[in-house]
Structure formats: C-alpha cells, structure tokens
Amino acid sequence: TTDLKAALAAKIPGEQERLKKLRKEHGSKALGACTVEQAIGGMRGVPAMLWETSLLDPEEGIRFRGYSIPELQDKLPKAKEGGEPIPEGLLWLLMTGEVPTSEQAQAVTEMLRDRSKLPDHVLKMLSCQHPDTHPMTQLATAVLALQVDSKFAAGYRSGIHKTKYWEPVFEDSIDLIAKLPTIAAAIYRRAVHAGLALIEADPKLDWGANLAYMMGYTDEGCLEMMRLYQTIHTDHEGGNVSAHATHLASAGRRSLLPGRTDASSPALSDPYLSFAAGMTGLAGPLHGLANQEVLRWLTDVRQQVGDNVTKEQLSEFVWSTLKSGKVVPGFGHAVLRKTDPRYTCQAGFAQKHMPEYPLFKLTALLYQVVPDILKQTGKVKNPYPNVDAHSGVLLQYYGITEENFYTVLFGVSRALGVLSQGVWSRALGLPIERPKSLTMAAMEERALQL
C-alpha cells in the first residue's frame, strides 16, 4: 500500500501483541538500577522508557528504526539521483519501521501537500506578534493556535473508544507536520525578514524543499541541504528535552496496558498541545537553541580574530569562553560520547558543496582544537561536536543568515520523530513516565538502610 495510515494500521496489532508478550515473559526483570547519584543527576542513563522510533548508542550515535544516517542516505528515496534523502521517506520509516519505496514516499509528499494550507487566523495571529518575539516563541504559539482543529481533542470530547486514540492522533500529527513548513516560512518572511510577502508552496516540490522555497530560496544546493537537514534532526531517542516534553504532555493511562498495577498521572494532551511543549523545551540554549548560539559564537571569533585564524588564536578564544563561565556551544552531549554522526554527515555535505567556504574551514579547525581543550577541563564527559556545531554553517552558505531562526528549522524536523512516536505511544497505550520523587531526607534515610 502507499497509504501510510493503512500501513500503520496493519502493523499495530502485531506490535501490541509483541509488547504484551514482552511484558508477560520479562515483566519482572530489572533493566538497570537507579543510584542516588542518578536520582540527583536527572536519572541520566536509567533505562526506564520505551521509545520505538530511534535508539542511541553513546559511541556510534543515533539509529532511526535500526538505520544509521549513512545507511539512510543510501536507502531512502531521493528527489534527485545521487542526492539527499527526502524527509517524507524517513517519516514513513519512523511510522512503520519499513524503508519506503519511492511511490510510498511520494504518497506521503502528496498527503502532506494536501494538508499544508494554514488557516487565516494563524497567519493573522503571527502578524500581531511583537517584532522582537523570538521565532521559537512564535512557532510554539502558532502550533497552539492550530489546536482548535485537533481531531483528537474533538474525538475525545465525543467519547471515542480508547483503543481508537491512535487514529485521530495520526491525523493531527500529519496535519501538523504538513503545516509546519508553511508556519516556519511565514515566521521567516514576516518577522525575521521584516515583512516580506509570503510565498505559496510549489506544487511540484517535496515537503523539505518547499520549506526552503517558501522561505525564498530556490538554489538546488539549498533545497538538497534542507532535505538533509530536515531528515537528520527528526529524532534522538526519547529522553532529550523536546522528545520527552512532547511525550510527557501526551502521555496516557496505564489502564490501557493489560495488568495495570499502580496509579499514574497522565495528561493525554493532543499532538498540538504536546508538540508545543516540546518546542518550548527545544528553545532552550543548551538544547536546540545551541545552533543559534554556535553561530553567534563563530561570529564573535571572526570579529575578534578575523578569518585567517590560527590554531593558537582559536585555542585562546576557547579558553577565554570557558574562563568567563560559559559553555562552548555545539560541543558536548548528555548521552553521546563520540562525535555526533549528524555533525559528520553535515561536514560531509559541506565538503561536497562548499569545500572552500571560510566558515566551514573555521568549523573544521575548531574540531581540531576544542576537544583537547574540553578534555583538559577534566569535567566535560563528551568533548566532541554535536549536531548544532555544523548546521549554521550550511544555512549561512545558502544565505539563510538570520541565526535566531535556526532552531525553528530544527523544530520542524523534530516533529517527524516525536509525533511518529506519539502515534505509537497511543497505539501501544504507553503511560506517562511517573518516577517516584523523594525529598533529600527520604533519600538519606533510604540510603542509610542500604
């Protein structure tokens, strides 16, 4: 079938059975313990959450439904021979677990195109925003404004049976994904770019390329960059802020799982409400906003040291950043322990399309300088670059120079991952993560007894 919903519907019963069996046969086994250190340190690394769409290995990095980024670049359908994958193909993979054919990816493109028009009230609302409102705040606000059309919220009101929740959640997710490029482009043209007229989508273009097109960019390289960008930022396991916040707000009841044993505090917010929660998290400087911060930091380097910077000058600059109590943006990661493959993939794209671009050269030089310095601090667990260290370079090269908009592009992509998981979370009846919290006194008391 080329119908994504039908493909999902065919998969769901088998996966529900698989989860039931996992629970029945292994329900009492411990996946890991939680130490006092982990409880104080934000439960880092405690294996206590189910997330189907991607899995992260600290050394190797992310795999989407089992596929590494280079494998996806090889296997997913492309807009042009030898080019980058189109995100619609990844959406099919994230939703169904299967690499799509070109026809299946094409059908997703068409489904998204059909639903891409923004209601007038959302555009009006965006045009009333204070000119200094950050583009991420505008994105979250626009997503919330769309919520009036939530099919899940309407279905819940009319008493839909809980086993059917996934269907309106799927519809809302597709509606939202379809509209996000239009929203992003409207934010870009209206606010970031001082009131430029909006551009209608090109009916011949795919979803990712249309995002660049509606922003006002038509260069073939830029369209390819946007397809790749929108593919690699989609998902990064379930525990990061944007994924987890989306998941928490949408989480359901344990009673949907057979053999419920204790209480939980679910929310069951629809995809618009929960994705907005994810976006307000993505807007933080240590998470998605780091791509904006990287660009600002690189601009500072260039202003203070110039373009022909030496390793020594760069070292000095990095040390001065650290000594002033700031982080080096784009480096480090909560879970990864090697160079982020999303960084490597973007560096490969830059090597192919812009090998002589000064900002690319500066970024490559930073890769030689920063990790050693961060290691010398003795506390940074991962001294290597993450996804945000490189994305701004690609955008700058194609003329997208407004760095305060960068996180919006990250957010549009993130929708594909967290909303695909959201559909599965409802299909599998996954509950909220509801860790037991303890006071310091309670922790001291328990620890003394161990």
Query: How many angstroms separate the CA atoms of 100 and 7, rounded?
Result: 11
Q: Which of 40, 148, 286, 447 binds ligand FCX (CB under 6 A)?
A: 286
Residue tagged active-site, from 233, 236, 244, 287: 287
Task: Show the tokens assigned to 359.
Answer: 């900002």
Whether the CB-CB separation of 414 and 238 falls below 8 Å is answered with no
Task: Determine, following the binding rule CB under 6 A, whether residue 296 of this chain makes contact with ligand FCX.
Answer: no
Query: How many angstroms separate the CA atoms of 11 and 1, rounded?
Result: 12
Does the annotation mark 388 as catalytic? yes
Coil vs helix vs strand at 270: coil
CA distance from start to end of the chain: 56
Does the annotation mark 233 as catalytic? no
Total chain residues near ligand FCX (CB under 6 A): 22
β-bridge mates for residue 55, sequence order: 63
Q: What Rg do the C-alpha atoms of the chain give, in angstroms?
A: 22
Task: Determine, following the binding rule CB under 6 A, whether residue 331 of this chain makes contact with ligand FCX.
Answer: yes
Q: Which of 334, 364, 438, 443 binds ligand FCX (CB under 6 A)?
A: 334
Query: How many angstroms separate the CA atoms of 376 and 419, rounded?
Result: 40
- Contact stretch for ligand FCX (CB under 6 A) within 202-210, 320-328, 358-366, 393-401: 320-328
Q: CB of residue 418 vs ligand FCX: minimum separation in angstroms?
A: 13
Q: CB of residue 267 vs ligand FCX: minimum separation in angstroms?
A: 23
- Contact stretch for ligand FCX (CB under 6 A) within 101-109, 134-142, 372-380, 430-438: 372-380
Does the annotation mark 172 as catalytic? no
Neighbours of 71 (CB within 10 A): 13
Task: Show the tokens assigned to 431.
Answer: 């509950």
The answer for residues whose C-beta is within 8 angstroms of residue 187's C-beta and 6 or more apart is: 126, 135, 138, 139, 142, 405, 408
Q: Which of 63, 179, 247, 333 binds ligand FCX (CB under 6 A)?
A: 333
Q: Which of 56, 214, 314, 380 binds ligand FCX (CB under 6 A)?
A: 380
Q: Residue 142 or residue 374: which is nearer to ligand FCX going by CB?
A: 374
Whether the CB-CB separation of 277 and 249 falls below 8 Å is answered with yes
Q: Which of 212, 328, 409, 415 binds ligand FCX (CB under 6 A)?
A: 328
Task: Determine, following the binding rule CB under 6 A, whether residue 384 of this chain makes contact with ligand FCX.
Answer: no
H or E stretch at 295: helix 290-305
Q: CB of residue 416 vs ligand FCX: minimum separation in angstroms?
A: 16
Whether the CB-CB separation of 141 and 129 falls below 8 Å is answered with yes
- Contact stretch for ligand FCX (CB under 6 A) within 143-151, 272-280, 284-292, 419-427: 284-292
Whether the CB-CB separation of 177 and 419 falls below 8 Å is answered with yes
Query: How many angstroms separate the CA atoms of 419 and 413, rounded?
Result: 10
221-224: list long-range contacts, CB under 8 Å, 24+ apart.
221/353, 221/398, 222/398, 222/399, 222/400, 223/79, 224/79, 224/80, 224/83, 224/84, 224/353
Task: Determine, following the binding rule CB under 6 A, whether residue 40 of this chain makes contact with ligand FCX.
Answer: no
Q: Residue 209 or residue 345: which is nearer to ligand FCX going by CB?
A: 345
- Contact stretch for ligand FCX (CB under 6 A) within 75-83, 189-197, 258-266, 375-383: 375-383
Task: Determine, following the binding rule CB under 6 A, whether residue 329 of this chain makes contact with ligand FCX.
Answer: yes
Residue nearest ligand FCX, CB atom distance: 332
Q: Which of 381, 399, 442, 445 binds ligand FCX (CB under 6 A)?
A: 381
Say how many residues make up the chain.
Answer: 450
- Contact stretch for ligand FCX (CB under 6 A) within 9-17, 306-314, 332-340, 356-364: 332-340
Task: Determine, following the binding rule CB under 6 A, whether residue 386 of this chain makes contact with ligand FCX.
Answer: yes
**3-state DSSP: the chain helix, strand, coil percent, rounded to 5?**
60, 5, 35
The DSSP code for 132 is T
**Per-residue contact string for residues 196-235; x = within reach of ligand FCX by CB under 6 A:** ----------------------------------------
Task: Determine, following the binding rule CB under 6 A, whether residue 379 of this chain makes contact with ligand FCX.
Answer: yes
Task: Determine, following the binding rule CB under 6 A, whether residue 238 of this chain makes contact with ligand FCX.
Answer: no
- Contact stretch for ligand FCX (CB under 6 A) within 62-70, 188-196, 383-391, 393-401: 383-391
Query: How many angstroms separate the CA atoms of 331 and 336, rounded?
Result: 11
Chain centroid, CA 59 distance in Å: 20
Residue tagged active-site, from 236, 244, 333, 390: 333
Q: For residue 278, which of 253, 254, 249, 258 has the smallest C-alpha distance?
A: 249
Q: CB of residue 388 vs ligand FCX: minimum separation in angstroms?
A: 5
The residues of the shown chain that bind ligand FCX, judged by CB under 6 A, are 240, 286-288, 290, 322, 327-334, 374, 379-382, 386-388
Q: Where in the sequence numbering do the catalytic residues fall?
A: 287, 333, 388
